[in-house]
Amino acid sequence: MAAASPEEVTGLLLAWSEGDQTAFDKLVPLVYQELHRIAHSYISRGHRGYTLQTTALVHESYLRLIDAKSVRWENRAHFLAVAAKSMRHILVDLARARHNLKRGGRAQRVSLDEALVATPQRSADLLALDEALGRLATLNPRQSQVVELRYFGGLTEEEVAEVLKVSPRTVRSDWSLARVWLYRELSKE
Amino acid sequence: MTPERWDQVGKLYRTAREVRPDQRAAFLKKACGDDTPLRREVESLLEAEAKAGDFLAAGAISDAAKALADEKPRSLVGRQLGHYQVRSLLGVGGMGEVYLAQDTQLNRGVAIKLIPAHLMADAESVRRFRQEALAASALNHPNIITLHEIGEQEGRALIVTEFVDGVTLRRRMRGARLSLAGAVDIALQIASALNAAHDAGIIHRDIKPENVMIRPDGLVKVLDFGIAKYADRTGWRTSREAMVQTTPGAVIGTLDYMSPEQARGLPVDARTDIWSLGVILYEMVTRRLPFTGTTGSDRIAAILGREPELLGKRRDKVPQELEKIVRRALAKNRDERYARASILADDLRKLRGALTEEPAQRFALPMAARNFSSSSLRRAVTIFVVALITIAALLVYFRHRATVSETASRSGTSLASIDSLAVLPFANESGNSELDYLSDGMTESLISSLSQLPHLSVKARSSVFRYRGKENEAQQVATALSVQAILSGRVVQQGTNLAVYLSLVDGRNGNQLWGEQYNRKLADLLALQNEITRDVSRKLRARLSGIDEQRLAKHYTESVEAYQAYLKGRYHVLKNTRTEVQNGVSYFRQATDSDPSYALAYAGLAEAYRLLVLSGEMRPTDFLPLAKAAAQKAVEIDDRLAEAHAALGFIIFWYDWDWNAAENQFRRSLELDPDSEDAHHDYAQLLSYSGRHAEALDEIRRARELAPLNVRNGAIEGAVLINAGRDDEALVRLRETQKLDPNYWFARFYTGSAYIEKGMYAEAVTELRKARESSDVSSRPTSLLGFALAKLGRVAEAQTELKGLLKLSQRRYVSPYSIAEVYNALGERAETFAWLERGYQQREPRMVFLKIDRKWNNLHGDSRFQDLLQRIGF
């Protein structure tokens, strides 16, 4: 399969944001393909490089997937919001599918003292995160949205501010509180 | 919670963050009043913030990709692939995962390498890869790894090779410095492998220390023939180069061994491998790369344009012939390079013959290679020549056969990454801090026995004990210590019962790899300790060789009582205050009383005595003879105990002033345990004070590499740099060390010392005052302070410091060396010599500084000083 072109992805996102459901179905495999490409690059780079690589990679992957510049400026904010939402949708679906697969498969845990491993994982468990984000939306919808835009949408602080029509400072403040709250929620399990 | 309440929490949280951490509790108490749930909520958020680290920082797509990537390496362990039972993951590297498996038909261990699916993109690459691997397989050369089979598993290529039970050259180079003969011998074996491959038309293209394995008997095996080319073809190399450019320094670069033509992207021939071998030889001899730079493009520029420094500038006694060989192997223009590996091998062989007299050889070569006499070398060469002729014949046969059968073949694989582990200090959950010795001791014993395993790098005690008693997050610790896995545990002792809970966690993703609970009687402590070591090592390596099992199960004592006393001794000694060390001494004595053949306890005793003298400022003649006797006893009981040789070397150096004998002990210790941080650290000081600065720096940096968080290593590196006259570099290193622990007096002390050498006496005074505040016993900061004050012309103040020292010396031992320092700065030469003489008479250990320490430069012309130097053995 040929690599997804930014124009293609952007076009599909726009179509979807205008209500075309088939566009979303076409989008999913493109995102998966990109995801696998990044995963492979992780493997081939040896796992230790993670933290160093991530920022660059995230950036790279969004540059590849989305061509926000080609979206007309009146539509830009709306488009970015849609892109973030769709990304959340796709990634969480994938996490759910893999989760079910695992549970259906042979039990993987060996006998162990759970208390010893109660430290939460740094990289987010997307499924749990999605649920927690839902709960956060009932407490403060904007904070939940900031996370969606930044974490799932890969938007910068300024872009988030643009989408939500608030100051970057508010975005920063929402983000830091929401992040800590989410971290605690995920650590509880 | 309601949105309004959450709003309230959020506001308070933001305000509390503005408050200084130590005042937050008070602030919250006041702000929340009776509303305890509100306070708890905010507190728990603040707590979470401290732990959250880079949570969510990477972005969802990256986290999802990471999760996907993490699933793959675990997939094969425990599975049966044809007649191979997969036992464990040996490593994950650029070219895929490598597993250790058991061949159930032939009952032997094999290594299985899985090529990542994305490298198997099209049928054409797969076909060509097989062809290549098969061709290399036909070589059947002793220095080329044997390939058993090429197969397929769920669409991924499988390469099955012999399992080489040894270490990579990378790891070997991290240990004690290779002797020249040792380095040449390894290069010679690689050249032989290359020659055979080149004759068959196969270029390796990726010769690097990670692709060279060394067996315990000294035999070298080159891995991964034929794979690099395949990787090039599939574009893998391109992505790797891209990585080098985006994250400078983060990659152990294949770039470093790349030839100029490779770096330029030109077509390559056999001579590219000769270049790479030249780089390896350079690195083995000097412990440095010939072409360096902070970024990938800097390094490429160096490869293309810069001439490397002469070997002789980086190591003493390098024969001219070796310089010539390296220069010719590293000729930028490949027409000026060795045209064939066989010519290089001839030159190396000649040189190897001339080098056998080198005294260091005994300590630096692996066991069998050590006994590799010239007659057996000749025999090997003969066999090799015969083998070459046979290979030529076989090649024709195998090439033909290769097209028919895919399985009878040989080529290479790589134990792509060496496993590394940190054992975190076990938590004592007995509710009684007096039992800390038990949890600490078990941790330490486990570290030391696991360190004996080949293929496994275990972080030194001093690196991990800073995590003691803290809540640690495995991934974070793993990143900080750059290890792949973290072992943590809890120890509970109730009456005569002992429970130990262990957990082995994958440092890359925080997943638990293994967990186990042990319930035993306290009387079974020794057996338990062995059982744990065995279980852990089995988790890490599917199969241990007989020798490994012996190493692990090595009992230093059969007596539980002695063992417990030993653990208590260690526990107290490591606190390193005078009283605690004295406590330690009595426990070690208990241990040797219960078991008079307990070598490790004698070594511990030696260490304790020496600490009493060096940190506790007790009279050397009272304790160092005891230390020496204990160390000798330890060596007598167990000549293979690295700790004992290091302890003995130390005392012979500081007390007997017998430099050569001390050096032999250090080398012996490092031969037995190349990863001994203490031995590298101690050896560095000997080298530094005998003026061998480059080597000293190598050794201390190796110690720091092994234990980057041990501030002692940073301070001594500073001292080594000062001794080498590199004061500015010393200041940089010492500042870094102070960042790790601002209260560490020793680093401040050397900072002051560096300022003195630079003539910045006022700065020295400030540092030394601070050093004195945080050192409880030592009089060393005081004497240097006096020195600096005298140099500033503040004579009265200098004299006050001197008087203080003299007064103290009436109550307890104060190093005469220190007192002489101040007298010298005050220009009182008669007193200076009187005190130095006293230092000599009292066998003051620091008399070994005399020759190198620049503070005595004004005395060099004095015959009394020269006489003193001579008596000390310079």
More confident residue, B769 or B150: B769
Mean pLDDT to the nearest integer, B89-112: 74
Of the pLDDT bands very low, low, confident and very high (cuts 50, 70, 90), residue A144 is: very high
Highest mean pLDDT among A93-102, B184-193, B667-676: B184-193
- Least confident window among A22-26, B212-216, B582-586: A22-26
Distances (CA, A) of B120 to B130, B153, B202, B405, B839: 11, 12, 21, 20, 72
- CB–CB contact A48 B482 (8 Å): yes
Asked if residue B503 has pLDDT above 60, the reply is: yes
B78 burial (CB, 10 Å; 0-12 / 13-18 / 19+) is: exposed
Q: Average pLDDT in the B199-227 region?
A: 83
Asked if residues B270 and B334 have their Cβ atoms less than 8 Å apart, the reply is no
- Percent of chain B's residues with pLDDT above 70: 81
CB atoms within 10 A of CB A135: 13
Section A125-145 average pLDDT: 91
Percentage above 90 pLDDT, chain B: 36
Position B720 confidence tier, pLDDT thresholds 50, 70, 90: very high
CB contact at 8 A, B176 and B362: no
Give pLDDT tens digits for B544-591.
444 445 544 455 777 888 888 888 888 888 777 788 888 899 999 999
Arithmetic mean of pLDDT, B72-90: 70
Give the closest of A56, A122, A154 to B53, CB-based. Answer: A122
Region B104-130: mean pLDDT is: 68
pLDDT at A68: 54
Q: Between chains, do A184 and B516 touch, taking CB under 8 Å as contact?
A: no
Between A93 and B816, the more confident residue is: B816
Each residue of B626-660: pLDDT tens digit? Answer: 999 999 999 998 888 888 999 999 999 999 999 89
CA proximity to B502, closest of B482, B479, B486: B486
Q: Which of B103, B185, B199, B206 is catalytic?
A: B206
pLDDT surpassing 70 at residue A161? yes
Q: Specify the pLDDT at position B538.
A: 67
* Angle at alpha carbon of residue B207, lines to B206 and B212, rounded to 5°: 125
Output the six-digit token pair for B319.
């024969």
B58 in A contact zone (CB under 8 Å): yes
| Chain B contact set for A121 (CB, 8 A) | 475, 509-510
Task: Select, from the ranges A77-86, B57-66, B526-535, B602-611, the one with the highest average predicted confidence (pLDDT).
Answer: B602-611
The residue with greater pLDDT, A116 or B69, is B69
Residue B331 has what pLDDT? 95
Measured between CA atoms, how close is B88 to chain A, in angstroms?
16
Can you give the pTM of this predicted structure?
Answer: 0.45
Chain A touched by B592 (CB under 8 Å)? no
Q: Which residue has the higher pLDDT, B96 or B869?
A: B869
Query: Minimum mean pLDDT among B136-140, B435-439, B667-671: which range?
Result: B136-140
- Bigger pLDDT: B164 vs B844: B844
Model confidence at B369: pLDDT above 60: no
Check residues B316 and A105 and name the one with the higher pLDDT.
Answer: B316
- pLDDT, position B75: 56
Among B13, B62, B234, pick the best mutation site for testing chain A contact (most A Cβ within 10 A): B62
Residue with the bigger pLDDT between B573 and B7: it is B7
pLDDT at A21: 72
Reply yes or no on whether the pLDDT at A131 is more than 80.
yes
Q: Is residue B1 scored above 60 in pLDDT?
A: yes
Which DSSP string corresponds to B572-636?
Answer: HHTT-SHHHHHHHHHHHHHHHHH-TT-HHHHHHHHHHHHHHHHTT---HHHHHHHHHHHHHHHHH
How many CB atoms lie under 10 A from the CB of residue B764? 25
pLDDT of residue A43: 56
Q: Which residues of chain A lie closer than 8 angstroms to B473, CB-CB?
A: 119, 122
Mutate to test the interface with B, among A86, A96, A122, A155 (most CBs of B within 10 A): A122
Query: Do strands B84-93 and B497-506 pair parallel, antiparallel, or not at all (unpaired)?
Result: unpaired
Q: Mean pLDDT across the stretch A3-15?
A: 69
Average pLDDT over residues B706-732: 91
Distance CA A13, CA A65 (A): 10
User: Can you give the pLDDT at residue B627?
Assistant: 93
Residue B13 has pLDDT above 50, yes or no: yes
What is the pLDDT, as a whole number, of residue B831? Answer: 95
pLDDT at B493 over 90: no
**Facing residue for B116 by CB, picked from A34, A40, A91:** A40
Whether residue A58 and residue B13 make contact (CB cut-off 8 A), yes or no, is: no
Residue contact B48–A50, C-beta within 8 A: no
Confidence of residue B867 (pLDDT cuts 50, 70, 90): very high
* DSSP string covering B498-559: EEEEEEEEETTT--EEEEEEEEEEGGGHHHHHHHHHHHHHHHH-S---HHHHHHHH--S-S-
Give pLDDT, residue B382. 37
Model confidence pLDDT, tens digit, residues B594-638: 888 889 899 999 989 988 888 778 889 888 999 999 999 999 988
- Of A179-183, B382-386, B422-426, the poorest mean pLDDT is in B382-386
Whether residues A147 and B509 touch (CB distance < 8 A) is answered with no
B29 in reach of chain A (CB within 8 A):
no
pLDDT at B739 over 50: yes
- The phi, psi pair for B838, rounded to 5°, reads -60, -40
Q: How confident is the model at residue A40 (pLDDT cuts 50, 70, 90)?
A: low
Interval A132-152 mean pLDDT: 92
Using the beta-carbon criterion (under 8 Å), do A183 and B55 form an inter-chain contact?
yes
Chain B residues with CB-CB distance to A94 below 8 A = 64
Look at residue B798 and tell me whether its pLDDT is greater than 90: yes
- Of A41 and B102, the structure prediction assigns the larger pLDDT to B102
Q: Over range A72-77, report the average pLDDT.
A: 65
Above 60 in pLDDT, residue B360?
no
Q: Determine whether the interchain pair A52/B250 forms a contact, defined as Cβ–Cβ distance below 8 Å.
A: yes
CA distance A54 to chain B (A): 6
Mean pLDDT of chain B: 79
Give the pLDDT confidence score for residue B709 in this predicted structure: 73
For residues B857-869, average pLDDT: 94
Cross-strand pairs, B497: B494, B521
Is B847's pLDDT higher than 90?
A: yes
**Residue A116 confidence (pLDDT):** 26
Which residues of chain B does A182 touch, with a Cβ-Cβ cutoff of 8 Å? 55-56
- B609 contacts: CB under 8 Å, gap ≥ 6: B585, B623, B624, B626, B627, B630
Query: Is it the case that residue B464 has pLDDT exceeding 60?
Result: yes
What is the per-residue pLDDT for A59? 46
- Amino acid identity, position B645: H
Q: Is B776 a catalytic residue?
A: no
B130 vs A172 pLDDT, higher one: A172
Give the pLDDT confidence score for residue B374 in this predicted structure: 40
Residue B510 has pLDDT above 60, yes or no: yes
Choose from B271-280, B445-454, B499-508 the range with maximum mean pLDDT. Answer: B271-280
Residue B78, chain A, CB below 8 Å: the answer is no
Over residues B348-377, the mean pLDDT reads 50
Name every chain A residue with its beta carbon within 8 A of the beta carbon of B48: 180-181, 183-184, 187
Quick check: helix, strand or coil at residue B860?
coil
Given a cut of 80, whether residue A153 has pLDDT beyond it is yes
Local confidence band at A67 (pLDDT 50, 70, 90 cut-offs): low
For chain A, what's the residue count?
189
Q: Which one has a higher pLDDT value, B834 or B256?
A: B834
Q: Give me B655's structure tokens.
A: 């007390």
CB–CB contact B65 A184 (8 Å): no
- The answer on pLDDT for B295 being more than 90 is no
Average pLDDT of chain A?
69
Is-contact B128 B230, C-beta < 8 A?
Answer: yes
Q: Do B515 and A36 touch (CB under 8 A)?
A: no
Confidence at residue B277, expressed as pLDDT on a 0 to 100 scale: 97
> How confident is the model over A91-105, as a mean pLDDT?
61
Amino acid at B752: G
